[in-house]
Amino acid sequence: MKKRMALFIWGFAVLVAFCLNLFGLMHLIPMLITMPLLFLTIFGFIATWNRRNQFKGFYQKRMWP
């Protein structure tokens, strides 16, 4: 459930960054600010989405020394 909420928040952040990037294309906000912001939000969204089904290894039972 936490992963879905994180994906929703990242998705919303991507939409906001995209709208800000459109304002940057209209020269209302500097592109130097909007382009890295859009890149970082897309990167965070993909990193969070990709981490869902990551293989964490097999469980090994440790023996006492």
Residue 19 token pair: 């709208």
The one-letter amino acid at 41: T
pLDDT digits (tens, 9 = 90+) for 6-55: 889 999 999 999 999 999 999 999 999 999 999 999 999 999 888 766 77
Name the residue ranges covered by the structural domains of the chain: 1-51
d(CA 31, CA 46): 22
Give first-to-last CA distance, the chain, whole Å: 40
Instruction: Place 59 in a pLDDT band, splitting at 50, 70 and 90.
Output: confident
pLDDT digits (tens, 9 = 90+) for 36-49: 999 999 999 999 88
List, as one string, the DSSP characters of 30-47: -HHHHHHHHHHHHHHHHH
What is the mean pLDDT of the segment spanning 1-6? Answer: 82
pLDDT above 70: residue 4: yes
